[in-house]
Every structure is written in structure tokens, then in C-alpha cells.
A and B are shown apart, each in its own frame.
Chain A
Amino acid sequence: MSIADPILTRRPESRVWKKFRAHKSAMLGGVLVAFFVLIALAAPILPVPDPAATDWGAVRKAPTAAHPFGTDEIGRDVLARMIWGAQASLLAGVVSVGIAVLLGVPLGIVAGYFGGWTDAVISRCTEALLAAPFLILAIALAAFLGPSLTNAMIAIGLSATPIFIRLTRGQVLSVKAEDYVASARAIGLPTPKILTRYIFPNVLPPVLVQATLTIATAIIAEASLSFLGLGQQPPAPSWGSMLNTAKNFLNQAPWMAMWPGIAIFLVVLGFNLLGDGLRDALDPREH
């Protein structure tokens, strides 16, 4: 990057980071997310029992020293399943949003930058998809693809794509109207260069904020699909599928329902706080 470049200097970035660090709730969100990411990554080396190991002598046992979170319907350690389940939930959140971003952002740029018929077609499709309720769309897609974690991620990713198309398109439209883009076009700068140099960097911050917030939604969506039996399949654990099983033993084993719910809540809260913080930090208006 050239020093003379008026847009890409180092200063704003460090300012963003500074603002972000000063944002207490965002830091709290970051800590929460980091905690769960660490647990998910460290699952194989943590000193917990095998999450698939059954013990028919200890079915649905309340929390004890041996099983601090209790055991489930076929005598597996709930704590171990919670820890391994973190992998499924986080993966579902990140991968599905990844799909949505990778599909949505290019489509949004194309629609916004080139306009015309391309824009009309993409925009109408986006509106139509947005009009179908997110969860119903995801349920139908997951049913179509067959119940599995991978398919749930694809279903959620596809359902979330229109959000990113619309966001990107709007952002591109506003940037396109800026003088510097107009002059870049006037001097005949090739389109790919305009896109990468001017459009994309401006699209990125709001997409980043939206992506963080959508991860939160996606984690809940994965839990919802698993709750309906359409997500992670046993014996592999996910918080949503644990809840699905737990609802049959609410009265006898309330801990089976309690822990996964709390975990989903905390990790989603983490992503929401992080997203809020990012938004404030990246917002050029508020200083």
C-alpha cells in the first residue's frame, strides 16, 4: 500500500481498535466468545470423559462430583457433551455465516455496482427470499437436504444470504455515488480495480458487523433445527440436540435442559455484545 493513499492509512484502524478496546461490553462479549472457542478447541485434551461413553448404571443422574453437570438419558456425562457440543454450535454459527457472506457479498456487489437487469433480478429474488420467514425457509431446506449438522449449516447459510445481499447492495450504491468513485471511473480505472480498491473496503465494515450479529442468530437457528431433529445427529452432541432430548425428561432431569440452554445463551450474548461493540467502533459518526 502506498503511503500517499488517502484512504488506506493506518491511523483509522488503530483508532477503531482503541475505541473497541474501550468498549467494556464489547470486551465482555469478546471474552465470552473466546472462552467458548477455547473450550471447543481444547475439547480433545480436556480431562473429561468420552462424550459418547454410556453407563447404564447411571442414567439421568443429578449432578455429582463425578459428573458435575449430571448424566443424560443413556448415562453419558453431560459436561463432556456440553464441551464437545460447543464445537458443533460454534462451527454451525461460523460456517453458515461464512456461506452467507461468500454468496451474499459478491451478489450484492454485482447488483449494486452494475445495476440494470442484473440488479432487478437479484433484488427481486432477495426480497422474495426475505419475505419467506427465515426459520421456515431453514426448516424446509434442512428437510430437503436431510437431517445432519452439515446440511443444517448449508440451510441456515442459504437462508441468511439475502440479508448480506441487501446490505452489500445498499452499501455499494452509496459508495458508488461518492465523488472519488465517479472520478475513478471517469479516468478509466478498470472495474476490478475500482471494486477492490474503493468498493470492497467500504463494504467490509458493515458486513463484518452484520456477520458477527448473524453468527448469533445462526447459532440459535442451529439449535432450533437440532431441537426439531434436523441438525446434529446423535450420538454426536450439539446443544440443540441435547435440548431436543432433554425436553422429554424435563421433570426427571431438568439439568439436561438447563446447561445447553445457558451455554447457547452465553455464547449468543457474546456474539451480540461483540457485534454491538464492532458497530460502535466502526461507526465513523460517533466519536
Chain B
Amino acid sequence: MLSFILRRILIAIPTILLISVFVFSLQKLLPGDPVLAMAGEERDPEVLDYLREKYRLNDPVPVQYLTWVGNALRGDLGISLRTNQPVTELIAEKLPVTIQLAVMAILFALVIGIPAGIISAVKKGTVTDYVANIVALSGLSVPNFWLGIMLILLVSVRLNLLPASGYVPLSEDPVKSITTMLMPAFVLGTALAATLMRHTRSAMLGVLKSDYVRTARAKGLHERRVVLKHAFRNALTPIVTLTALLFGELIAGAVLTEQIFTIPGFGKLVVDAVFNRDYAVVQGIVLVTAVGFIVMNLLADVAYVLLNPRLRTA
């Protein structure tokens, strides 16, 4: 088990290095001069030259890259050209916001997706199953930014039920914090709920056909008990793995959701930074997100091994 984890970590290292190269070169490819973009209406050539020098934008690209990686290893991701705030500070500030959004979305998805998947598997081939499948596919097919604007129009503008935008820290006002994030979490969680439902269904279908479920039924156990205790427990492994994997995708999905609901999280930060050519911020966020994604993958693998009795004993 330990050697398995170690090997996985070793494989992750070159991947992360490659990501850093990608992230860095991508930034260098972006058109427009970040210093000029920051300057707005104030374009004093002397100051612009000084700033290029200060942020080492005139160095050869490989030197810039090595400087950046060297600093990143020491926990310094540079400072935002726009606000002068350190990127690590910005990330620390935004991460809890996006994580709260992602967790709420996942909770929503679990609550809807798993029961729907179980019911649909148990009632395979019936109208219930068919409807559940269509609803799930619809969830996967609806563009979530559109769902977001429609909800804002209906729930906030027309009905004035929930706030249309913003973020209240959980520590400041838990109730307001959660109500503010209800709509965004719903929007972000829709596709996830659909994915979970579909995977739960297929995992359950596989397990329901298996020998020990048949045995459990033959023993005359109540069907509810068979489904929940025996079948679902075994179907859980792929579901947990999937949830861990999807967590990474959620962070990416948060990009547009945050943009629409004006939530000051990771996604909004990175999109604004791309448009403002705030290099250090884009590099920092993509790097952190990618590393986070790899870590989630690693955790998913570990969870898979831990949850799977056959692999554990092996």
C-alpha cells in the first residue's frame, strides 16, 4: 500500500513540472503587454520600462521560468501586477470560497444523484427509470451559465427570494453565507448530480446482478435491505472514487459559475487575471489547481484501494 502511494507520488512529480512549463509558456504566448494592460489611461513609457524591469519581464524566458519555479518552491508565487497583493495571499483568500461552493455543490449532487441512481437501477426499464435518465441527461446538457442567468432573473430579480450575487464568509454569518451560495451551488451541482446518478445506476446494476446479491435475496432478506445494505455498499467504491475525481472538475466548473454570480473565488480570479494579463495570478492559480487536481486523483486511487476489500487483502 505504502509503496503504491509512493510510486504514485513519484509519477506525479514530472507531471507537475510539465504543468509548470505549460502554465508558464501559455502566459508568455498571450498577446498584449501586461504592463501596458495594467497602465490603462496612464502610459508613461519610463514607468512602464521600470515596471517591466522590476517584474523581470525583460529577462530571457528560460531565466524567467527558473526564477518563477525557484520562488514557487519557496512558497512565493509573485505579486499581482494589478493590486500588488501577493499571489499566495490571494489564493489563500479565494480558496475557502471556492471550496465552500464546491462542497455545497457536491452535497447537493450526492443528495440528489445517489438516491436517484439507486431507484433508477432497482426499477430498471420502468417509466421511473426512463424519466430519471432523461432528467439526468438534461442536467448534463444544460449550459450551467445559462441556468445561472435564468435563475438570477427568476429567483432574484423577479421574485427577490435569494441574493443575486456576492459572498458572505461562513464565519461571519453562516445562514446568509449558505443562502447566498444556494443558487450557485445548485447550478454547479446540476451536472455533477447527473453524472453521479448515471454512475450510481450503472454500478448498482452491476452489483445487483452479482452472486452475493442473489444469495442475499435467496436468503429471503427484505428487498430494501438487500439493495441498501448489500448492493449499495459494494457499489460505493466507484462512486467515492468518482466523487473525488469530480471535485477537481468542480473547481474548473466554478469558473463560469463564479463569473455569473460574482463570487470572489478561484474561477473569477483566474478569468479576470487572464483578461487583465495579470501573469503571476494566472500562473499561480493554474499551478495550484493542477496540483490540487493531481492530489485529488491520488486520493481517489488510495480511496479505491482502501474501499475495495479484494485489493486491500492483496
- Direct interface between A and B, CB < 8 A: yes
Give A62 Cβ to nearest chain B Cβ, in Å.
15
- The distance from the CB of B232 to the nearest CB of chain A, in whole angstroms, is 22
Residues B153 and A269 in contact, CB atoms below 8 Å apart: no
B308 at the interface (CB under 8 A from A): no
Segment at the B interface, from A1-9, A98-106, A123-131: A123-131
The answer to whether A140 touches B141, judged by C-beta atoms less than 8 angstroms apart, is no
Which of A127, A134, A136, A254: most chain B Cβ within 10 A? Answer: A136
> How far in angstroms is the closest Cβ of chain A from B165?
13
**Chain B: number of interface residues, binned into ranges:** 35 or more
Closest residue of chain B to A246 (Cβ to Cβ) is: B149
* Contacting residue for B153 out of A128, A144, A254, CB 8 A: A254
Residue of A nearest to B251 (CB): A133
How far apart are the CA atoms of A132 and B15 in the complex, in Å?
11
CA distance A258 to B147 in the complex (A): 10
At the interface with chain B, which of A50-58, A181-189, A195-203, A220-228? A220-228
Whether A136 touches B286, Cβ cut-off 8 Å, given contacts A25-B133, A124-B15, A257-B149, is: yes
The minimal Cβ–Cβ distance linking B69 to chain A, given in whole angstroms, is 14
Q: How far is the CA of A42 from the CA of B290 in the complex (A)?
A: 44
Is A88's beta carbon under 8 Å from chain B?
Answer: no
Contact among A139, A144, A251 for B31, CB-based, below 8 A? A144
Chain B: interface secondary structure?
Answer: helix
CB proximity to B under 8 Å, residues A109-150: 124-125, 127-129, 131-136, 139-141, 143-144, 146
Cβ of B256 and Cβ of A268 under 8 Å apart?
no
Closest Cβ–Cβ distance, residue B305 to chain A (whole Å): 19
Question: In the complex, how many residues of chain A place their beta carbon closer than 8 angstroms to a beta carbon of chain B?
Answer: 42
Interface assignment of A250: CB less than 8 Å from any CB of chain B:
yes
Q: Which residues of A contact B146 (CB under 8 A)?
A: 223, 243, 257, 260-261, 264-265
* Neighbouring A residues of B170 by C-beta, 8 Å: none
A224 x B18 contact (CB < 8 A): no
How does the 8 Å CB contact mask read for A232-268 relative to B, with 1 for contact and 0 for none? 0000000000010011001100100110110011101
A264 and B290 in contact, given A135-B252, A143-B274 (Cβ under 8 angstroms): no
**Interface-lining segment among B22-30, B52-60, B176-184:** B22-30
Q: Quick check: B271 and A139 within 8 Å, CB to CB?
A: yes
Cβ of B270 < 8 Å from any Cβ of A? yes
Q: Determine whether the beta carbon of A146 is less than 8 Å from that of B145.
A: no
**Any A CB within 8 A of the CB of B143:** yes
What residues of chain B lie closer than 8 Å to A77, measured between beta carbons? none
**Inter-chain contact B256/A135, CB cutoff 8 Å:** yes
CB–CB A139/B18 < 8 A: no
Within 8 Å CB of A172, what residues of B? Answer: none
Q: Is the pair B26, A141 in contact by a Cβ cutoff of 8 Å? A: yes
Known A-B contacts A265-B138, A265-B143; the reply to A228 vs B259 at CB < 8 A is: yes
On whether the beta carbons of A139 and B15 are closer than 8 Å, the reply is no
CB A144 to nearest CB in B, in angstroms, measures 5
In the bound complex, CA of A64 to CA of B198 (Å) = 41
Within 8 A of A (CB), among B247-300: 248-249, 251-253, 255-256, 259, 270-271, 274-275, 282, 286, 289-291, 293-294, 297
Q: Indicate if A272 sits at the interface (CB-CB under 8 A).
A: yes
Determine the chain B residues whose CB is within 8 A of the CB of A136 once the complex forms. Answer: 252, 255, 270, 286, 289
Please measure, in the bound complex, the distance between the C-alpha atom of A206 and the C-alpha atom of B27, giving whole angstroms.
34
Q: Digit string of B179-219 for contact with A (CB within 8 Å is 1, else 0)?
A: 00000000000000000000000000000000000000000
Nearest chain-A residue to B253 (Cβ)? A135
Are A250 and B15 interface neighbours, CB within 8 A?
Answer: no
Which 10 residue pairs spanning A and B have beta carbons closest together? A133-B252, A261-B146, A128-B18, A269-B141, A131-B290, A268-B141, A128-B19, A131-B293, A127-B15, A144-B29
Q: List 19 A-B contacts (CB under 8 A).
A: A131-B248, A131-B293, A132-B289, A134-B252, A135-B252, A135-B255, A135-B256, A136-B286, A136-B289, A140-B30, A140-B282, A143-B30, A143-B275, A144-B26, A243-B149, A264-B143, A265-B143, A268-B140, A269-B141
